Structure 1
């Protein structure tokens, strides 16, 4: 994605303003701070985000039960489970496997889980989403991933791992902010903020075309919708929502 001279100029201005953060990052002080502070920030943002996106999340997860096994029990892996902001949308008798790369989220996840006794935590896996050997092949009915693919090292490898752990006929559910439409003002500002945004928000990329990775991941069926979150003047407004069947 080629940036114009104006984007480069304004991006440089934003980076100059963020110089103290870049200095901390260069000295190796920012990442440890971010890993500890980020879960506290996201736990608060998740409450606000769920209020805004409640109807869309409820609709997205409305057919989760369709992928349960013959016993009616749904084995669900959530990648980047964070503070457990999706738990309220999961059906009863749901066996959870939660994954996160940052173990500082653990106390928030345990607290949220205690508020949802209809769920059962089977395992909490601390590992990068690109490599989860603790989870056997074809062992889960559903994989859920919301606001995570923006910050992983490799979207392609995460989707490959999701396909590995899903049973045949299982589903991958997603809700992600993505790059805005080409030549739009939204994309213009995303390109300006993106370098600083990645440092501030633990590797989050503003302008990933995640839908392209989903289209070529190898799922047998893909149901994907482009939408916008009700966040005025916010660079994460453009979203994709849907699910893909193995």
Structure 2
């Protein structure tokens, strides 16, 4: 089976050779930085429609994490266009983190559309290193469709634990590697290299739950689901929260 995966990857690589060439020349990353935000805004709106019930159930526990009732301090990793703001409780004060500065304008638009959420700051940073966020300073950390593209899951989860106050929680909703020996897993393997380039580092085959299990949280509530999304290749998801 491995040779079939290799052969199909080769065919796909030939078909998408111009994109791979731009990547080798270092020209694809600047294009992604410019065009990825508007594309993700459209994709996030579609994802919200399909995953609204899951997000409402997941983020329904956020109010209980506030140190002061009605005043939740939240850090969102990979905030993108601010697609999650609609699901945050009233009184949320959010610090947004994203390495792509092109999202800042979209975040500000989303804040205007959701006045129940107050924006504290937009930090252009990677989730692996957040020096401007103090220790034990937030009630909750949120990320959705972010851990698939970070360079080091271990570093991200260490930063999450550092910035959370004791009793605070990390809420996640992520697509992950499919169950082995399934057609979805097969096509994830085939598409992985080209998908990673086109979608700004997104890894279809990441086993994110393993990193969460060894991250040292005091409690981990994690569920594997088949998300009701249009693209079958990313239907395998994990959803849940981890408590510091």
- Normalised by the size of structure 1, how large is the TM-score? 0.97
Answering whether residue 80 of structure 2 is matched by residue 82 of structure 1, we say yes
Alignment of 1:33-112 (within 5 A): 33-112=31-110
- 1:228 Cα deviation from its structure 2 partner: 1.2
Answering whether residue 127 of structure 2 is matched by residue 129 of structure 1, we say yes
Give the counterpart of 1:29 among 23, 27, 41. 27
Q: Is residue 62–residue 88 contact of structure 2 (8 Å, CA) maintained in 1?
A: yes
Structure 1: gaps spanning 5 or more residues = none
RMSD: 1.0
SS at match of 2:233: coil
Give the counterpart of 1:119 among 117, 120, 124. 117
Q: Is residue 70–residue 90 contact of structure 2 (8 Å, CA) maintained in 1?
A: no
Alignment of 1:176-191 (within 5 A): 176-191=174-189
Deviations 1:200-224 (A, max 9, x none): 0000000100000000000000000
Identify the residue that residue 142 of structure 1 maps to in structure 2.
140
Alignment of 1:194-205 (within 5 A): 194-205=192-203
- 1:53 Cα deviation from its structure 2 partner: 0.3
Q: Is residue 158–residue 215 contact of structure 2 (8 Å, CA) maintained in 1?
A: yes
- Normalised by the size of structure 2, how large is the TM-score? 0.98
- 1:23 Cα deviation from its structure 2 partner: 1.1
- 1:232 Cα deviation from its structure 2 partner: 4.8
Q: Is residue 47–residue 229 contact of structure 2 (8 Å, CA) maintained in 1?
A: no
Give the counterpart of 2:158 among 157, 160, 168. 160
- 1:234 Cα deviation from its structure 2 partner: 2.6
Give the counterpart of 1:12 among 4, 10, 30. 10
Give the counterpart of 1:236 among 223, 234, 237. 234
Q: Is residue 51–residue 229 contact of structure 2 (8 Å, CA) maintained in 1?
A: no
Q: Is residue 176–residue 205 contact of structure 2 (8 Å, CA) maintained in 1?
A: yes
Deviations 1:183-203 (A, max 9, x none): 111000000000000110000
- 1:124 Cα deviation from its structure 2 partner: 1.2
d(CA) in 1 for partners of 2:226, 2:87: 20
Structure 2: gaps spanning 5 or more residues = none
- How many corresponding residue pairs? 244
- 1:231 Cα deviation from its structure 2 partner: 3.0
Give the counterpart of 1:175 among 173, 176, 179. 173
Deviations 1:114-153 (A, max 9, x none): 0011111111111110000000000000000100000011
Identify the residue that residue 213 of structure 1 maps to in structure 2.
211
SS at match of 2:216: coil
